Structure formats: C-alpha cells, structure tokens
Structure 1
Amino acid sequence: MFDTYPVMLSALKQAITKHGIQYDCELERFVKEKSIRQFADQYGTQAFLDDYHQIETELQQAPTYYPEIPMILKTIVKRGGQHFVVSHRDDKTYAYLGELRPLFTEIITSDHHFARKPNPESLCYLIDKYQLDRNETVMIGDRPLDILAGQHAGIKTILFDEAAIFSKQQLKADAIVTTWEDFKNEY
C-alpha cells in the first residue's frame, strides 16, 4: 500500500555506513527477497539493527500510499469484502494507515507477537476469528515471505512486484501485479 522501500534503503545505507559493514549483495534485492532482519543477521549485529530502526523511524515520518489504493480498498468493502493488515512493523502501522484505517477490519503488527511471516500464524488467526473462506481469501504482499505465508495458510496470493524482481514461476503466486493500476478487484 505504501512505497516505504526508498526510505528503508536510505536508512539501511546510513546504518551500514555508521557500522562500517561490508556486504556482497544487491541491497534492494536482498531486502525484498529476505528482510532487513536477515541482512542484520548475516552482515551486522543487534546494535546495527537497532540503529537501522531508529534511523528509519526518523526518516519514515509520513509515508504516502499509492494513489490507487483508496479506491481499491473502498470498492472491495463496498462489495462486502474485508481488509486486514499483517505487518512486521510495530504499532506505527496505525498512524501510517491514517484515513484508510477504518477500511480495515483488523490490523496485526509486530507488537501482537505472532510468529513472523512466512509463518502463517497471524493469517490463520484472522481466518479463524472472522470465519473467512480460504477459497475467497487473498494475501497480497510485495515479498516472498508474504506469498509463502499466504500459501502456508492455504489462501490465494498476489505479489505486488513493482520493480519486477521476481517471476511467477519463482514464487508461484496466483497473480503478479507490477502497478496498482493493473490490480483487478476480481482477484
């Protein structure tokens, strides 16, 4: 919903410089394929990760959503659908959603202490709590861990791959969209 990656990458680069970390990967691809936490595990320390989070929080003050998002969300709700957020971010997620927050039935953040994606624990919780039909439930995400979480929960998946990093065959997502303009509400 939000293009937070430019700020995340800027914060990551600042933390890398501060800690003098040497790495042998393409940062954006690594972060999308894995996570910043895995980057810290492989190349950094907990202090590095803590500094990254502090820098990212300072820089990521008011992320804006993609322009098509409000209409997509409203259309689905108007048709009787529901939206949920499952985020590795903390409760700042509520502020990020801003005026869109009422369009979500429930928001799960890292502060809820579910297992991290790709573990489907949070998705299964939502499916059970709201008695969602797995055949009509879709996980939309922009990283492999999102798609894997949806697959592990037994629901359909849509990969938002704006940078065209992944292939459908690589992740076996049910659908891939590279722009929100391409999103079709029949998914």
Structure 2
Amino acid sequence: MKIKNYIWDFDGTLFDTYPVMLEALEQIIAKHGIDYEGDLAYFIKKYSIRKFASDYATPDFIDDYHVLEAKLQTDVKFYPQIPAILAGIVAQGGQNFVVSHRDDQTYTYLGDLAPLFTEIITSDNHFARKPDPEALTYLIDKYYLEPSQTAMVGDRPLDILAGQNAGVKTILFDEAGIFGDNAVKADVLIHTWEDFERTKVRK
C-alpha cells in the first residue's frame, strides 16, 4: 500500500491522552452518581465519551467532563516515535493533517509539532463529527489528495469508518489490543508505532 498523505486523529493516536481522559471520566461519573459496571476504557475506545454521556448521563455531564479533563490534562505527551514519523513523511514529500474532536487546545498540545501538519481541523471548525467524512472530504478536495495515496490514522472504529466513508486507506492503532479481530476492516492494524515503521504503509 503506497501512502503519501496521512490524516491523523489526535487523542490516543498522536498523543497519549487517554489515561487522563479516563481518570476525568471516572471522577465525573462518580460526581453524577452514575452506576456503570462495564469496561469504561473499552466503551470509550469503541464508541466515544460523548456517546457515554448520551446513553447514561444528564445533559450537563459532558460539560463537567470537559472542564475537569482540561484541568487534569497538564502533562500532554506525544508517543515518542511520532515526531520522527511525521518528519519522515514530510521529508518523503508527503503531507500530514489532523482531524480531531478536541477543540483548538489541540494547537497548544501540538506545540513544536504543528509545523509538520499542512492543516489542523478541530471541533472549533464545526465539521460533522467522525465517522461522518465531511472533514476528510474537505481536505481531499482542498489539497487535491489522491484517495488511494491517502490514509486516515486513528485508534477507534469511528476513525476507520470516517476514512472508509471518505474513500481513503485506513490504519488502526490498537495499542491496547481491543480490536484484534479487526472487525472494522482497517487496511492496516498496528499495536505500536514501531509496527508502523516496520510496515510498508510509507513505501
């Protein structure tokens, strides 16, 4: 699979933010007195925090969560291999993009990595949320990206579905081994960023 351009999810893909997100979610669940006995980490990976709020909580739950998560998320770190991967893509003539459900705080978290991206789309751009392909289609059309040479990279099924809906290739980063059966049928399934470097997705 010859890929030149990469559209990246942010949380849990470029940056290891899920531990703090999960901590904030657990605290807000306790605050709201919600009794949930399922695997919370699995739920938010398979679906989303927004779906959890919709299924189990009151309307103010998601706002409370976002306030606490922003307060707790003080040491935001990218996966160690990510800077070299991004720089390598650019060095080979490719482009990187971000499509994130996080707001414009994304720019702050990216910091020195931001110049490695041609465009960064956040929730403040008001595109339809993944798996709707609206944001991806916008990038494909704006930058004349060849779908067969473009991949959506993410850690959740909704990222992969967004890529499939946009007609591009897909790479599922499954660090926790939750989606080992690859039921969503991503073109490439990896468990570490070393796996990414060893695959032929960039050649």
Q: Same fold (TM over 0.5)?
A: yes
Query: Quick one: distance in 1 between partners of 2:156 and 2:113?
Result: 22
| TM-score, length-scaled by structure 1 | 0.97
Over 4 Å off, 4+ runs: none
Which stretches in structure 1 are left out of the alignment for 5+ residues?
A: none
Task: Identify the residue that residue 86 of structure 2 maps to in structure 1.
Answer: 73
Whole-angstrom CA distance in 1 between matches of 2:37 and 2:54: 14
**Is the counterpart of residue 5 in structure 1 residue 18 in structure 2?**
yes
Q: Structure 1 residues 112-121 or 177-186, which shifts more?
A: 177-186
Structure 2 residue aligned with 1:113, among 106, 116, 126? 126
- TM-score normalised by the chain length of structure 2: 0.90
Report the Cα offset of residue 47 of structure 1: 1.1
Q: Which amino acid aligns with 1:177?
A: I
Shift of the alpha carbon at 1:168?
4.6
Match of 1:45 in 2: 58
The aligned runs of 1:146-165 (5 Å cut-off) are: 146-165=159-178
Amino acid at match of 1:93: T
Identity of matched residues, % = 64
Which structure is higher in RCO with an 8 Å CA cutoff and minimum separation 6? Answer: 2
Deviations 1:17-38 (A, max 9, x none): 1110112421000000000000
2:149 to 136, 158, 163: 136
- Unaligned runs of 5+ residues in structure 2 are 1-13
Aligned to 2:136: 123
In structure 1, the residue matched to 2:192 is: 179
Q: Residue in 1 aligned with 2:112? A: 99
